Amino acid sequence: MTLTILIWLPLAIGVAVSALPPALVGRATAILSLAPLGVAISFLARFKIGHAGLQFVTDHTWISAFGIHYKVGLDGLNVALVVLTTVLFTASMAWSATREWERPRLFYFFLGLAQSAVLGAFCAQDLFLFVAFFDLMLIPFYFLTGMWGTGERVRATTKLVIYTLVGSFFMLVAAIATAVLASNAYGTSLTFVLSSLQHLQLSHTSQDWVFLCFAVAFLVKMPLVPFHGWLADGYRSMPIPAVAVFSGVLSKVAAYGFLKIVLPLFPYASVHYQTLMLVIALVSIIYATSLAFTTTQARLVVAYSSVAQLAFIVLGIFSLRPQGGQGALLQMLNHGLVTAPLFFIVAALAVRCGGSEDIREMGGLAFRAPVLAALFLIVILANLAMPGSSNFAGEFLILLGVFKAKLAISVIAFLGVIGAAVYSLRVYIRTMHNPLGPKAHSHEISWRDALPIAALVVVILALAFYPQFGLRRSDQSLRATMAPAEVQDGLSPAAVVAVTGSGRR
Amino acid sequence: MTATTFGWLVLLCPLVGMVVIALGYKVLPGRTPGWIATAAIGLSFACAVVMLVKLLDLPTAHRQLTSSLWNYASSVGVNAKMGILVDPLSVFMVLVVSGVSTLIHLYSVSYMSGDRGYTRFFAYLNYFVFSMLLLLLAGNFLLLIVGWAFVGAASYLLISFWYRRTTATRAGIKAFVINVVGDVGLVLGTFFIFTHTGTLDFLQTFAAVPHVFHHNSTDLVVGCLLLLVGAFAKSAQVPLHTWLPDAMEGPTPVSALIHAATMVTAGVYLIARMHPLFELAPTAADIGAVGGCLTLLIAGTIGLTVTDVKRVIAYSTMSQIGYMIMGAAAGAYSGALFLLMAHAFFKALLFMAAGSLIAAMAGNQDLDRMGGFRRALPFTFGCFLIGGMALSGLPPFSGWFSKDDILAFLDHRGGGFEIMGIAGYIGAILTAIYTFRLIFRAFLGAPCPEAKELEEGHLAHAEVPTNPQTGEVEDTDVGFPGPEHHIAEREWPMKVAMGTLAVLATVGGFLEVPGVDDAIRRFLEPSFSTSQLAASVPSTGADWIGLVIGAAIAVVGVVIAYRIWVLAPGTAAVIRERFAPLYRLFVNKWYFDEIIDYAIVRPAQWFGQVAETVIDRTLVAEGITGGTVSVIGAVSAAVRRTQTGFLRYYVALMLLGVSGVVIYFLVAG
Amino acid sequence: MAIGWYLAVSAVIFSIGAAGVLVRRSPLVVLLCLELMLNAANLALVAFSRMWGSEDGQVFALIVMVIAACEVTVGLGLIVAMYRRRMPLDVDDLRELQG
Amino acid sequence: MSAVLFFIAAIGAITGAVGVVMLGSQFYSVLALVIHLVALAALFLLLRAEFVAAAQVIVYAGAVMVLYVFVVAYVGGGDEEATRSGLRFLGPLLALALAVELCVALLGTALKGISSKGARFVPGFGTPADIGKLFLTKFLLPFELASLLLLVAAVGAIVLARRRRGLEPDEEREARYHPRLPAWVGSMAEAGGLTRFEEPPAPPAAEPEPESAPIGSQS
Amino acid sequence: MTRVPPIHIAATHIKGPPIDWVGLAPFVTLTIGALLVLLIGLLRSPIARERIVPALSVVTLAVTIGYEIATFHHQTSIISGALRIDDLALILDLVFAIAGLAAVILSVREPGATDAGHGEYHSLLLFSILGMAVLVSAQNLVTLFIGFELLSIPLYILCASDSRRAASLESGLKYLVIGSVGSATLVYGLALIYGATGTTDFVPISAAITGSSVQPGGLLNDPLLLTGIALSIVGFAFKASVAPFHQWTPDVYEGAPTPITAFMATATKAAAIGVFLRFFDVAVIGVQSTWAPLLAALATITIIVGNVGALGQSSTKRILAYSGVGQAGYMLAGVVVGTQLGITATVFYIVTYLPVNLAAFAVIVARQRQRAGGEDLSALAGLGTRQPWLAWPMTIAMLSLAGIPGTVGFIGKLYLIRALVGGNYTWLAVMIVVGSMISLGYYLRVVATMWMSSPQAESASARVPAGGRPAIAGGSDEADAADAGGWPTPDRAVANAEVAAVAVLFGAAGVFFGIIPSPLLQLAAHAGRSITGIF
C-alpha cells in the first residue's frame, strides 16, 4: 500500500464513476471516497512517532534530464494534513452527493482530480513535483467555480486562476533557479529532490529573490493582504463543496510550503525577511478581522476569518520558533476542520433565508433548529479559538512562538484574537439569535445536511479534548525543518534544546 | 481512591449531566432535566465533600496533590497536561461553588419551569458549573485559561438565554468580548511567566519563580498585571466591569449563580492562587488592591442611584468583590476567601429573593413600581432581610465577620493600606444605605397593585409580556421568560434553597471568629505556606476593633437609609436636587459605557467600514487588480490598432524594423 | 570602376524598390518593385563575385533570378484570380482581414 | 572607358527603377522595368558576368516582361490615382534611410576588395561553361530544387488563374452553352486533355445564388 | 581557385558529386511523392482525386517519417556539403512531416483542396515540406535561400487556394508581397555575408568570421558582415513571425484555409526557428556577443506583442495566430542562449508546441464544417456539453500553451527556463513567465467559452462573419439548427470523424508527454548534441 495509491485513488474514482448513470454518480463517489480516507487513516496508524525523517517513501526518477524525481513520502509535517485532506473531501462529497448537479460526472471528476492534486502537493518530496501539483490543484477549481458557481462565476474564476497562477509561475522560475543555481554553485548534477537541495544552500543574494518568488506564490494562494484581490469574488462564486475544500485545504498547501520548502531551503532569506512576513501577517490579521465584522455576507465573514487564521499560521511559521511552527501545524489542522463545516452551515442558513447569505435578512433561526444552532455554536466557538478548543492550543503555541521572537508583534496580534470573538459571535447572533429576520423561515436541519457537519464537529470535539493528537507526530520533523532557520537566526541548536527542553523536567 | 480521583469525579458529574440533558432534549419530560441537573451538581458536591475528607486525612505538609490524565498539549517545550491540582484552596472553592450551585439548581427547577428553554437552561447551567470547577481544579495555566474561558462562554450563553431579546444578545456579546479581553490578559501574562520558568504547571512555576525572578522584576510585574487584567475582566472590576450590570438580562438564577456566587469571584481565586507571583511583584499587587478599592467605591455610588432591583444587587456584587480583590491583593487571603464564601451565600440568597420578588411583579424589575410586599411575600421578605443584613455587615451575620476581617488586615498592614481600609469603611456605609434602600422601598410602605393582588391570593401576570429594559413587546414563541412566574411562597424547592442559604448566611460567619476559632485560615494554611503576608495576621484585639467599627458603620448606614426612605420619603428627591451633577454621574454609571463606546467600539467599526469601502474596493480592487488589467488592456488595444489590415503599413513597419536592426548592428559593430 | 560603385548602385536600387512597395497601390506595380529589390541583390551578388573572383555569386544570382520569376508568376496568377473574383486591384482595399 | 559605360548603365538602371515607381500607368512601369533590366544586364557585363547578363536579358526582358504585359492587358491596367496616405512621404524617407544605412555598411567595411576593381580576371570567368559546371557539381542540389520551384510556380499559376464557375463576369451567358462545367475545368487535367465532359460529383458549393452570394463573402 | 582552361571543358569531364542516397532518401521520397500526387491528381475519376491523392500523400509522409527514423544518428553532409543531415535536422523534419500529415488529413473535404484540385493542393503541400527539410539542413547560403523559397512559394498558393473566399485570396496576396519583401531582404543580407566572407558555405563563413583568413583579426566588427546578418535576421524573423515582423501572421492565418493555417502555425514556425538555430549557432556563432542581445530584445517584444495582441480577439484563429507570435518569442529566447542546452530546449519546445497546436486547429476545422463562422470564438460556446470529444482537446491545447502542469507545455516551459537560467538569462526567463501570465487572459477565455457559457448565448451570437462560409453549401441553416438543437446530427459527427480523430490524438499526446516527457527529452537532447563547436 504505497502513497502513490493514496494520491491517485481519488482521481481513479472520479474517472471510474463516470461510467455510472448520472443519478448514481454522486452517492457512488461519496461512498467510494471513504476509501482514500481509510487508506490515509491506515497510514496515520502505521506512522512511527518520534522520527524526524520520511516514512513510506516512494522514489522514482520522473524526468532524468533534470534530476526530477517522483518522490513522495510522509513525515510529521504532512501526515496530519493528508488525513485532513481526505476527511474534508469526503465530507464535501457526502454533502454534494445529496444534491442535484448538472453534469455530475464532470463535477465529481474534478473533485477527484482536485483531491489527488492536493494530496500530491502535500506528499511531494521533490521541489518540482510540488510545484507541478501546486499549479495543477488550481485547474479543477477553475472548472468547479466556472461551471457550477454562482453569480459572476466566469469572471471570478478567471480572476482566481490568473491571480494564483501569477504567483505560481514566479514560483516555477524560482524553483528551477534554485536547482540550477545550486548545481552550478556546487558542481553537482541537477536535482530537485528536497532532501538533497537542503544540503546545497544558495548564496544569500539568490536566496533573497528566490524566497520572494515563493513567498508571493504562497501568499497569493492563502491569501494574505495585499494579495487577496481574488478572495471576495472567488469565494462568493464557488460552489459550497469547492469553497469548503479550497479554504479548508488548498490554503494550507501554501502554508505547508513555507514550512516544508522555504524554511529549510532558504534559511538566510527566511531570517532576513522574517520581520516583513510577520508584518504582512499582522496587517492581514487586523485587516481581515475588521473586514469580517463589517461585511454582511455570511460567507465572506467565514472567508475573511480564514484569512485571519492563515495569517496567524504564517505568524507562527515565521516566528522561526518551534512553538510557533507546532502551533501553525496544529492550526492548519484545526482551521481546516472548522472552516469547512462553517461553509456547509452558511449554505444551510441560506436555505432558510430564501437563498440569501446576507445576515441582515437572517435572525432567530435557532428557533425550530436547535441542532443546527448547537452545531453552529460549537463550530463558531472553535473558530474564535475559544480556550478548550484545539484551535486555542494552536493559537497559544503560535503566539508563544511569536512572543519569543518579537514581543510587540505578538501583543498586537492578540487584537486579532479579540476581533475573532467579535465577528464570530456577531455572525452567530445575527443569524441564530435576535428577533426573526425578514426572510427567515427556520426549520430543523435535515440528516443529509447534518451528517457531514456533525461528523466534522465530532472530530473538532475530539481534538478539543486531545490536541496532542495534532502535535505528537510533528514534533521531531518540525524541529528538523526549523533548525536551519533557527541556527541562521542565532539560536544555535544547543540554544534550541535549552529553550525547548527546559520544560520537560 | 485518592482525593484527586474524587476531584475528577467532581468534574465529571456536571459534564455528564450536561451531555445527558443536551442529548435528551427531545425526550426528557417536564421538570426532569432540572432534577437531573440538580442531582448532577449535588453529586459533585458530595464528591467534593469526600475530597475534603480525604484531604484532611493527609498531614498538612502533603495537602497539595496533582494528577494528570493525558498530555493536553505538550511538545517543543510546552508541557500542558490534562491535570488537576487538589489543595485546600481549590477544595475550599469547589465546596463553595458546588454547594451553592446545588441550591441554585434546586431553586431553578421550579423558578424556570414554564420557560420554553427549560432543557437548554439546565444544560447550560451544568456546563457552567463544569467550567467553573475546571477553572478551580486546573493544575496548570493552560487548563486554568480553558476553564476561565469556558465560564465566560457559559455566562455568555446564559446572559443571552432569552435570545430573542436584542438587549439580551447585546449584553451577551458584551460580556463575552470583555471576558475575552480578560483571557488575552491571562494568556499574555502566562507567556511572560512561561518564557522565564519554562513550565505551565502551577507547582513547578511556583517552585521556579523565586529562582528565575528577582523581586519586582519588570517581566514579572508586567505578567502579574496582565493576570490582573484577566482577574478584573472576570470579576467585573473597574474599568472592565461594564458587562456585569447588563448581564442582569439573564434569568435571575443565572445572576445568582454566575454573577454573584461563583464566576465573578474567579478573579479573587486567581490572585489567591498566584500569590507567590504577586508577593514577588508587590507593585502589581498594590495596583490590584487599588483597583479593587476604586471598584468598591464606584460600584457603591452607582448602587445608590440605580432603580433596577437586580442591577442594584449587581453593583453591590461589584463592590463586594472589590473588597475581596483588595484583600487578596493586599495579602488577606483567608479573609478574602472567607468573604467570598459568605458573599456566595448571602448574595445568592439576595438574588433568589429578588427573583421571587420580580416574579411577583410579573417580570418587572423597576424599584419605583414596587412597594409594600412585606405581607404579600413574607418568606421572601425574611430572606431578603437576612441577606441584606449580611451584605451590609451587621453583626452577627457572615458579612460582618468576613468583610471586617479584611479591613482589619489592611489597617494592620498600615501605610497606603490604611487609606484603603478607610475607603472600605466608606464603601461599607454606602453598602448599608443602598441595601436597605432596596429593602425599605420594596417591602415597606404602601403595597403596589401587584402586592395587593397577591395578598388577595393570585399572582399577577403581565397580559402583554414586554422586555423590562426597552419595554418592547416580547416575541413569545421561544427564548422568552415564559408566561407564568413562580414565587418562593408557592414552590417548596425555592423555599428549601433560600432557606438553606439564609441559614448559611446567618451562621457562616462563625467559622472564623477572631480569638475563638479560625477554621478557614487553618484549613487554607497549606496553600499559603510559602507566603509571608499570610503569616502576619493582626492581633485578635485589632480584629475586634475592626469588627466593632464595622458594625457601627453598618448600623449608621441602616439608620440613614431608614431616615431617607421610611421616615421622610421626600428626602431622596431633595438630595438628588442638591447634588445634581454628582447624581448624574452616578446614574450614568460614571459614563464608563460611553467612554468605551467612543474610545474603542466606534473606531473599530469605522476602521472596518474604511477597510471595506476605501481600501478593499478602491485600493485593491481598482488599484492593484484593475490597474494592471487596464494597462495590459491599453497595450493590447494599441497592438490591435496597428493591425490596420493595410498591407503597405505592414511593409512599412517591417522596413522600419529592418533599418532599426541594421542600425543596431552598425552601432554595436 | 571600383566594386564599391556597383554596390552603391545596388543599394540605391534596393531602396527604390522598397520605396515603390510602400507608395504604390496596384499589386502589379508592387510586384515590379519586388523585382527591383531582387535585382539589386543580384547586382550586389555579381559585384561581390567579381570582387572575390569566385563564381558562386553568379550562380546565386541565377538562382535568385529563377526565384524572382517564380514569385512573379505566382503573383500574377493571384492578381488574375482576384480580377476574376471582381476584387479591387488595389492593396489598400484589401482590408477584410485586420485587427 | 569602362567608367563611362558604368555611369551610363548605372544611370539607366536607376532611372528605370525610379520610373517603375513614379510612372502612373502600370504599362509604363513595366516598360521602365525593361529599361532597368537591360541597363542592369550591361552592368553585369561590366562585371564580367556574361552568362548572368544573357540570362537577365532573355529570361527577364524576354519572358517575364511579356507575361507582365499580358496580365496588364488582361486586367486593363488603368492609371492608379496617387496614394493618399502618409506613406507617400514616409515611404521615400524610409527608403532613403535604408539606402544610407546600406551604403554605410557597404563602403564602411575594411575589406580591401571594395575599393579595388575586383580580383584578377581569369579567362573563362563567368562563362556559361564555368557556371554550368558549378551547377552540375557544387550547386547540383540548388539547381535541381530550382527546377522543382519552377514546376511549383507553374502549378500555382494554373491553380490560381484558371477559370472557376460562379466567378466569371458574364456567368449567365456562358452558362448557356457551357451547361454545368465540371469543377476541374481549367485544371491541368483539362490541359492534359484527359477529361471528357461527363458528370463529376460537383461539390454542392458550386451552386451559388448570386443575390444570396455577394462577392466577398461567398456564403 | 584552380581553373581548367575553357578549351578542355567537355561534359565528359564533369564529375557529379558523390551522393549519399541514404541521407538523401527523405528528400527523394518527398519529391517523388509530390510528383506522383500531382500526376494522379490529373486522373479522371473523382475517387482517384479525392481519395487516392490524400492517401498517397499520407503514404509519402509516412515513408518519409520512416526513413527519418531509420536514418537517426546518421550524421552526414551530402551533395558536396549542400545539406547536413543530423539529428537536429531529422527531428525538425519529423515535425514537418507530422504537421503535414495532420494537414493532409484535415484537408480531406477541405473546399480549398477541391477548389484547387486535390493533386495540385497536396503536391504543393509536399513541396513545401521538402523546402522546409532543405532549409533546416542547408549548409550553404544558396541552398538555404532556395529552401526558403521552396517553402514559401507553395504556401502563398495554398493560402489563396480557397479562392471562392475573398479572404483567402487576400491573405495569399498579403503573404506573397510581404514574404517577397522578406526574402528580398534575406537574399540581400546573404549577399552581403557572401561579400564579406567570399564564400557561401557555412563552415568557411564561420572560419572567416573568427579566423583571419579573409582579413586579419576576423570580421567581428565588420559592418558589411553585420549588416548582412541583420538583414538575414529580418528574413528569418519574418518567417517565424517575430515582432515587429509579425503583422502578416494574424491576417494570413485567418484568411488561409484552416488546415493550411495549422500547417503554417506549426511547420513553418518550426522551420524558421530551425534555420535560426542552424544559421546563428553554426555560421555566425562567432559574433554571438553582438546578435544575442538583439535577439533577446526581439524575443521580449515578441512575447509581449503576441500575448497582448491576442487578448481582445473574437476569432479563435486570430487568437491562435497571436499566441503563435508569442510562442515564437519563447522559442527565440531559447535560440538566444546559444548553448547546446538552449538548442535542446528550443527543439523540445517546438516538439511540444506541435501536437497541441494541431489539436486546437483541428477543433476549429471541425467547427467550421459544422456551422457558419466556425472560427469564431462564439462557435465554441457550450462545446463542453455537446461535443466533449472536441472540447477536451481544445482545453488541453489551451492549458498546454499556457503552460499548465500535466501538459507538455509545462515541461517545455520548464526546459526553456532551465536553459535560460543556466545561460544567465534569468531576466528573459522572467519575461517568458510574464508572457504566460498575460496569455492566461485569452487561453482561459477560450476554455471558459467552451465549458462555462451556454449554447443559447452562442446561437444568439451565431453570425456569419465576413469571409466565413459553411463547409457544405446551404449547410449554414442546418448547422445553426443543429447548434440550437444541441447535439450535432450524426452525419456531422461522421463528417468530422477524421478531424475529431486528429484532435483527440494530438490532445492525448499533449497530456501523455506532459506526464511522461522523457522520450521527447532524449530526442531533443540528441538534437542539441548534433550541433558541435558550442558548449
Q: What angle do CA A276, A281, A285 make, to 5 degrees?
A: 145
What band does D182 get if pLDDT is binned at 50, 70 and 90? low
Query: CA A155 from chain center: how many Å?
Result: 24
Q: Does A touch D (3+ CB pairs < 8 Å)? A: no
Residue A194's alpha-carbon distances to A202, B129, B558, C98, E266, in angstroms, are 13, 52, 81, 51, 37
Position E480 confidence tier, pLDDT thresholds 50, 70, 90: very low
Mean pLDDT over D183-198 rounds to 54
Q: What is the amino acid identity at position A132?
A: A
Q: Specify the range with the lowest mean pLDDT, choosing from A247-256, E215-224, E296-305, E389-398.
A: E215-224
Residue B336 has pLDDT above 80, yes or no: yes
pLDDT digits (tens, 9 = 90+) for B166-214: 888 888 888 998 999 999 999 999 999 998 888 888 888 888 888 888 8
Q: In the predicted model, what is the mean pLDDT of chain B?
A: 86
Q: Got the DSSP string for E394-451?
A: HHHHHHHHHT-TTSHHHHHHHHHHHHHHHTT-HHHHHHHHHHHHHHHHHHHHHHHHHH
Give B237's contacts (C-beta < 8 A, 6+ positions apart).
Answer: B231, B267, B291, B292, B295, B318, B321, B322, B325
The beta-carbon neighbor of C16 closest among D17, D44, D125 is: D17
Confidence of residue B462 (pLDDT cuts 50, 70, 90): low
Task: Quote the CA–CA distance of E270 and E251 in Å, as a whole number.
Answer: 20
* Residue B308 identity (one-letter amino acid): D
**Interchain contact C/D (3 or more Cβ pairs less than 8 Å):** yes
Q: How far apart are CA D178 and CA E534, in angstroms?
A: 66
Give chain E positions within 8 Å (CB) of A135. Answer: 404-405, 410
> Looking at beta carbons, which residues of chain E come within 8 Å of C52?
195, 198
Q: Is E452–A147 a contact, with Cβ atoms under 8 angstroms apart? A: yes
> pLDDT by residue (tens digit) across B246-281?
888 888 888 888 888 888 889 999 999 988 888 888
List chain C pLDDT tens, one digit each, 99 residues. 788 899 999 999 999 999 999 988 888 999 999 999 999 999 999 999 999 888 899 999 999 999 999 999 999 999 988 888 888 888 888 888 887
> Does the pLDDT of residue E469 top 50, yes or no?
no
Q: Is E77 helix (H, G, I), strand (E, B) or coil?
A: strand
Rounded CA separation E355/E353 (Å): 6
For residue A367, pLDDT over 70 is answered with: yes
**Residue of E14, E30, E164, E472 to mutate, interface with D, max D Cβ within 10 Å:** E164
pLDDT at residue number D204: 47
The answer to whether D and E touch (≥3 CB pairs < 8 Å) is: yes
Instruction: Using CB atoms, pick whichever of A232, A386, A500 lies closest to residue B149.
Output: A386
Averaged confidence pLDDT in chain D: 77
Cα–Cα distances in Å, from A477 out to A257, A480, A504, B180?
Answer: 14, 5, 18, 33
Band of residue E402 on the pLDDT scale cut at 50, 70, 90: very high
Q: Is the pLDDT of residue D166 over 70?
A: no
Element (H, E) at B56: helix B32-57
Question: What is the distance between the alpha carbons of residues A152 and A154, in angstroms, rounded to a whole number?
Answer: 6
Chain A environment of B142 (Cβ under 8 Å): 387, 393, 396
Can you tell me the distance from the alpha carbon of E279 to that of E288, in angstroms, rounded to the nearest whole number?
Answer: 11
Q: Which three cell numbers stand for residue B617?
A: 474596493
Give the span between the Cα atoms of A217 and A197, in whole angstroms.
20
- Is pLDDT of B567 > 90? no
C93 close to E (CB below 8 A): no
pLDDT tens per residue, range A149-194: 888 888 889 888 988 888 889 999 999 999 999 998 888 888 999 9
What is the phi-psi region of residue A103: left when phi exceeds 0, alpha when psi lies from -120 to 50, beta otherwise? left
d(CA E79, CA A490) in angstroms, rounded, equals 70
pLDDT digits (tens, 9 = 90+) for B603-656: 888 888 888 777 777 777 777 778 888 888 888 898 888 888 888 889 999 999
Which residue of B640, B645, B651 is in closest CB contact with C21?
Answer: B651
Residues of B in contact with C95 (CB under 8 A): 644-646
Question: Which cell numbers hold the place of A166?
Answer: 501569477
pLDDT grade for D78, boundaries at 50, 70 and 90: low
C93 shares contact with chain D (CB less than 8 Å): no
Q: Which chains touch D (3 or more CB pairs under 8 A)?
A: B, C, E
Three cell numbers, residue A418 = 479579540
H-run or E-run covering B65: strand B65-75
Average pLDDT score over residue span E353-380:
90
Q: Which residue has the higher pLDDT, B4 or D82?
A: B4
Q: Which residues of B touch C22 (CB under 8 A)?
A: 648, 651-652, 655
Which amino acid is present at B268? V
Question: Residue E436: which of A133, A169, A184 has the nearest Cβ?
Answer: A169
Distance CA B144, CA D124 (A): 112
More confident residue, A394 or E462: A394
pLDDT at E275: 92
What confidence category does residue B129 fall into, taking pLDDT thresholds of 50, 70 and 90? very high
In chain B, the residue whose alpha carbon lies closest to the alpha carbon of A377 is B157
pLDDT at D210: 40
Q: If you measure CA to CA, which chain E residue comes closest to A184?
A: E422
| Statement: residue A452 has pLDDT above 70 | yes
CB E398 within 8 A of CB E410: no
- Name chain D contacts of E156, Cβ cutoff 8 Å: 156
Nearest CA in chain E to A103: E385
Per-residue confidence (pLDDT) for residue A430, from 0 to 100:
87
Cis status of the peptide bond prior to B396, with omega within 30 of 0: yes
Q: Quick check: C82 contacting E, CB < 8 Å?
A: yes
Q: Quick check: E6 pLDDT over 80?
A: no
E84 DSSP assignment: E
Distance from CA of C95 to the nearest CA of B (A): 5
Q: Nearest-5° angle of CA B489, CA B490, CA B496?
A: 70
Do the Cβ atoms of A157 and E448 come within 8 Å? Answer: yes
E451·A146 Cβ contact <8 A: yes
- SS3 percent helix, strand, coil of chain E, rounded to 5, is 75, 0, 20
Q: For chain C, which chains pass the contact test of at least 3 CB pairs under 8 Å? A: B, D, E
Tell me how far apart the alpha carbons of residues E212 and B12 are, in angstroms, rounded to a whole number: 98
Nearest to E198 among C7, C52, C91 (CB): C52
Q: Do D150 and C18 touch (CB under 8 A)?
A: no
Helix axes E388-402, E340-370, angle to 10 degrees: 150
Evaluate if residue E220 carries a pLDDT over 60. Answer: yes
The size of chain D, in residues, is: 219
Residue numbers in A near B172 (CB within 8 A): 425, 429
Q: Give a three-class secondary structure readout of chain D.
A: CHHHHHHHHHHHHHHHHHHHHHCCEHHHHHHHHHHHHHHHHHHHHHCCCHHHHHHHHHHHHHHHHHHHHHHHHHHCCCECCCCCCCHHHHHHHHHHHHHHHHHHHHHHCCCHHHHCCCCCCCCCCCCHHHHHHHHHCCCHHHHHHHHHHHHHHHHHHHHHHCCCCCCCCCHHHHHHHCCCCCCCCCCHHHHCCCCCCCCCCCCHHHCCCCCCCCCCCCC
Residue, of D139 and D207, whose pLDDT is higher: D139
Report helix angle E269-278 to E87-107, nearest 10.
Answer: 170
pLDDT in tens, A1-52: 688 999 999 999 999 998 888 888 888 999 999 999 999 999 999 998 877 7
Residue E187 to chain C, least CA–CA distance (Å): 6
| C-alpha distance from residue A298 to each of A92, A251, B159, B230 (Å) | 19, 20, 24, 31
A275 vs A272: CA distance, rounded Å: 8
Cβ <8 Å between D107 and C14 = no
Cβ–Cβ gap C96/B645 under 8 Å: yes
pLDDT at D199: 46
Taking CA–CA distances from D41, the nearest residue in chain C reads: C43
Contacts of C98 in chain E (CB under 8 A): 251
| Nearest partner of B195 among B229, B169, B218, B174, judged by Cα | B218
E475 confidence band (pLDDT: 50, 70, 90): very low
Q: Which residues of A touch B71 (CB under 8 A)?
A: 468, 472
Q: Select from D101, D146, D188 the Cβ nearest to the Cβ of E146.
A: D146
Comparing CB atoms, the residue among C31, C64, C97 nearest residue E251 is: C97
What gap in Å lies between CA D18 and CA D22, rounded to an integer?
A: 6
Q: Please, how many CA atoms are within 13 Å of residue B469, restricted to the half-sphere of its CB?
A: 16
Q: Strand pairing partners for A389? A: A387
d(CA C52, CA E281): 26
Give the pLDDT score at B29.
84
Residue type, B218: T
Q: Which residues of E342-366 are buried (b: 16+ CB within 10 A; e: fewer)?
A: bbbbbbbbbbbbbbbbbbbbbbbbb
- Coil, strand or helix at B75: strand
Confidence of residue D193 (pLDDT cuts 50, 70, 90): low
Contact A387 B621 (CB under 8 A): no
Most confident segment among A341-355, B395-409, B510-524: A341-355
